[in-house]
Structures are given as structure tokens and as C-alpha cells.
Amino acid sequence: MPNVYRALGDATRRQILSMLKQGCKTQKEIVEAFDISQPGIKKHLNILLEEGIISESLNGKYRIYSINLNILQIASHEMLQYIGELLDDQLVSLKNYVEKGEFRDEEE
Amino acid sequence: MPNVYRALGDATRRQILSMLKQGCKTQKEIVEAFDISQPGIKKHLNILLEEGIISESLNGKYRIYSINLNILQIASHEMLQYIGELLDDQLVSLKNYVEKGEFRDEEE
DNA sequence: ATTTTATATAACCGAACAGTTATGTAAAAA
DNA sequence: TTTTTACATAACTGTTCGGTTATATAAAAT
């Protein structure tokens, strides 16, 4: 099961995910958006891949990355539940709202 | 500002916080609840202290730890907002619900 | 056919982490 | 006063992480 803390625990990875939320991106595009070397970015992408939060596909010489919102949702479930329990019932009911399936599956 | 990812990113620390949610605990009590050495537990407590998620107080030879729910709430705010933005509007409205101040301040 | 482009991979670095053992210290109990 | 108890601290280990440079490779463009 994906480790959301690991995946989201780094600011660069969060920015990458925000980029991918706007649409699929080439590795090159991602690299150009940061002041980090290509292998450095690739490591972040590998961690997101390991955690299943993003997917990779090939197109000629390009690597295309996309975000897996459904998996991210499932993955954050446990975390939201835990925080909800700590922060008490208000957040829990809030979490229940999420769990009731009110999400639309953007990734289809 | 507290790094929630760091604080909550470890299972032992999450268990410690769950314990403290039930009430203040002595370091001894916490140590006894885990199969980890006393210095090992102390390191986790120090990280939670660094992030401001828990507080420490002295009582004779005892160290008493308590959870700072208010700070945890403020700290998770950003994280919840970010995840909300990724997981789209349903979660955002959910997050707004939290932000509207619907939390009661258990720690007063 | 050669060069450029997009990416992969290896090797390295310093810092942080999770854990340990060993030892010191201060409060409480005997 | 001696011993026990609760905790602090230092030093060490192995692993992961975020970053780098250097180099290889495969596709595309020239």
C-alpha cells in the first residue's frame, strides 16, 4: 500500500504532482520546471512511481507521466482517517463525507 | 512551521500520538508500550517536540508528554489543502468545512 | 551518417533517520 | 546513605534521501 507520507513528504514531489494534475507531462517538461538536474528529477519520479501515485508511458523518445488520482485518493484514505481520529469528530465526519464516495473519478 | 509529513511519517510516532490523544503520558509509559529502547523512543519524542506537535513537562523525575491538538490542526491545514486541491473540489469543500473553524479547541 | 535530444544509470556526497549500546545524572525509595 | 528508577546523552551502525557529475543509449533530426 502506497506510503503517502513518503510520496508527499517532499516539496519538489508535491510540485510535480501539482503539475501533473494540470495534465500529462513529459519528463523534459518536468525537468525544465525545476532547478534540479535530470537525474535528480528522475529520482523523485521514481519514488512517486514506487508509491503508485503516478504512471509512466513511452512515446518515442519521450517518457510521459500522469497522476493516478484514484490511487492517491485510496492512499490518502488511511492518513485522513488517522488525522481525523486525532483531530476529533469534526474531521471524522468530514472524512466520512469523502468516504461516502463523493469523489468523481477523474481518471477513468 | 511544523512539518506534518515529518512528524506523522513514521508509524511509531503515529502510535505515540494516538496514545497521547487518550491523555498525558509519562516517557516510561510510552517506552513500555513499544519494543524500542528508551533512547529510541526519546528520539521520536524529540522529533515530535521539534515539530511542536507535543509538549513536555517535568514532574519530579518524570517527563510528562501531551499532544498539542491545536498545533496539529494548524499544521495539517496546509497538507489537507494541498491534498484537497489534488483530489479536486469535493475534498476542497470538505477542507473548507474544516477551515470554517468547526473544530472545537480541545486543548484550551 | 552524424549530431542532437530525451532519457537511463552508476557512482558519489552529505545529511537525516531509526535503531542500538553504554554511560551519566538526578530524583525517589530503601 | 545506598540503591533504584526515570531519564539524558554520546557514539556508533546501516539505510534512505536529495542532490550532484559523468556517461551510456536510443530515437529523432540534420
Q: Return the amino acid letter for A73.
A: Q
The residue assigned the cell 518536468 is: A30
- DSSP bridge pairs for A57: A64
My answer on whether B54 and B19 are in the same domain is: yes
Q: How far apart are CA A29 and CA A49, in angstroms?
A: 17
My answer on whether B61 and B95 are in the same domain is: no
The pLDDT of residue B1: 84
The pLDDT of residue A84: 84
CA A62 to chain centre: 21
Report the half-sphere exposure of A34 (CA within 13 A, side-chain side).
Answer: 22
Confirm or reject contact between A40 and chain B (CB < 8 A): no
Contact A34, A65 (CB under 8 A): no
Q: Could you list the residue range(s) of the whole structural domain that residue B45 is in?
A: 4-68
More confident residue, B96 or B88: B88
User: What is the chain B residue with the closest CA to A19?
Assistant: B86
**Burial label, A19 (beta-carbon count in 10 A; 0-12, 13-18, 19+):** middle
Closest partner residue to B86 (CB to CB) among A72, A90, A94 is: A72
- A22-72 tens-digit pLDDT: 999 999 999 999 999 999 999 999 999 999 999 999 999 999 999 999 899
List CB-based contacts (under 7 A) with strand D.
A 6, 9-10, 12-13, 35-40, 43-44, 47, 60-61; B 26-28, 31, 38-39, 42, 56, 61-64
Residues of A in contact with B21 (CB under 8 A): 85-86
The pLDDT of residue B35: 98
**Burial label, A42 (beta-carbon count in 10 A; 0-12, 13-18, 19+):** middle
Q: Is residue A108 part of a domain?
A: no
Is A77's CB less than 7 Å from nucleic acid strand C?
no
Q: Look up the CATH number of the domain holding residue B39.
A: 1.10.10.10
My answer on whether A51 and A9 are in the same domain is: yes
Provide the 10 A C-beta neighbour count for residue B63.
16
> Does the structure show a pLDDT above 50 at B78?
yes
Interchain CB distance below 8 Å, B104 and A91: no
Closest partner residue to B90 (CB to CB) among A86, A91, A102 is: A102
Number of domains observed in the structure of chain A: 2
The pLDDT of residue B47: 98
Q: Is residue B10 part of a domain?
A: yes
Residues of A in contact with B86 (CB under 8 A): 17-18, 21, 67, 69, 72
The pLDDT of residue A1: 83
Q: All 3 cell numbers of residue B90? A: 469535493
Q: Is residue A34 part of a domain?
A: yes
My answer on whether B29 and B60 are in the same domain is: yes
> Does the structure show a pLDDT above 80 at B60?
yes
